[in-house]
Amino acid sequence: MNQDELKALVGRAALDVVVPGTVVGVGTGSTVNCFIDALATIKGSIVGAVSSSVASTQRLQAHGIRVLDANEVARIPVYIDGADEIDHQGCMVKGGGAALTREKIVADLAERFVCIADHSKRVAVMGRFPLPVEVIPMAAAQVARRFAAAYGGVATVRAGSNGPVTTDNGNLLLDVRGLQITDPLAMETEINQWPGVVTVGIFARHRARLCLLGTPAGVQRLSFD
């Protein structure tokens, strides 16, 4: 199976963790797109979804799935999202799709984060994938200097075809290379304190409790409780 087939496999497998009669938290990315397409087949059994990006909202609505504002929902049983890297504790690097802030907000509403990923995302130590950090534009250079001083990381502003990438919240993204994320919780806590940082793409406080990992042998269930 190629990577796209593995994503489709775990997207379908995630239907098993959807709780009927509730609101589902929905992440962002190509793996989640597979989940959204699968979710459409059981849309009558859920109340709706809380979405983590404009892109996911549009896909959900195109399938006729009701999207609720996060402010309308106090608690959801499960949040389903992909990852750029996931370690042996369920900690993740996220934000490759630029949606990390809203992803963390929806994850915070959820009792359980279920990660869906192909096996290429599983790592011993995170940091090979450039760490995404959403920043207030005027703080970008100072946050980049802090990464260099504190961790020896090299931060660059993410660029698209028409200039810097802007998040759904109107901010910039830094991608930080050269990191070894050996203590994800400590690093997330530290970087969150830096003025101008909106969200760091380390998900340690909101780590996955379950990962449905797509492998050539099928879906592997990794539990981190």
- For ligand 5RP, the closer of residues 94 and 158 by Cβ is 94
Q: What torsion do the CA atoms of 93, 189, 152, 134 make, to the nearest 10 degrees?
A: 60
Tell me the C-alpha distance between 126 and 135, whole Å.
21
| Binding stretches for ligand 5RP (CB under 6 A) | 27-31, 81-84, 94-100, 103
Is 72 among the catalytic positions?
Answer: no
214 and 171 Cβ atoms separated by less than 8 Å: no
Q: What torsion do the CA atoms of 89, 94, 96, 102 make, to the nearest 10 degrees?
A: 160
CB of 204 vs ligand 5RP, minimal distance in Å: 14
CB of 215 vs ligand 5RP, minimal distance in Å: 15
CB of 184 vs ligand 5RP, minimal distance in Å: 15
- For ligand 5RP, the closer of residues 4 and 183 by Cβ is 4
Catalytic residue among 103, 111, 134, 188: 103
Tell me the C-alpha distance between 102 and 201, whole Å.
11
DSSP state of 148: H
CB of 72 vs ligand 5RP, minimal distance in Å: 23
C-beta atoms surrounding 223 within 10 Å: 9
Judged by DSSP in three states, 108 sits in: helix
- For ligand 5RP, the closer of residues 25 and 29 by Cβ is 29
- For ligand 5RP, the closer of residues 114 and 148 by Cβ is 114
Residues with catalytic function:
103
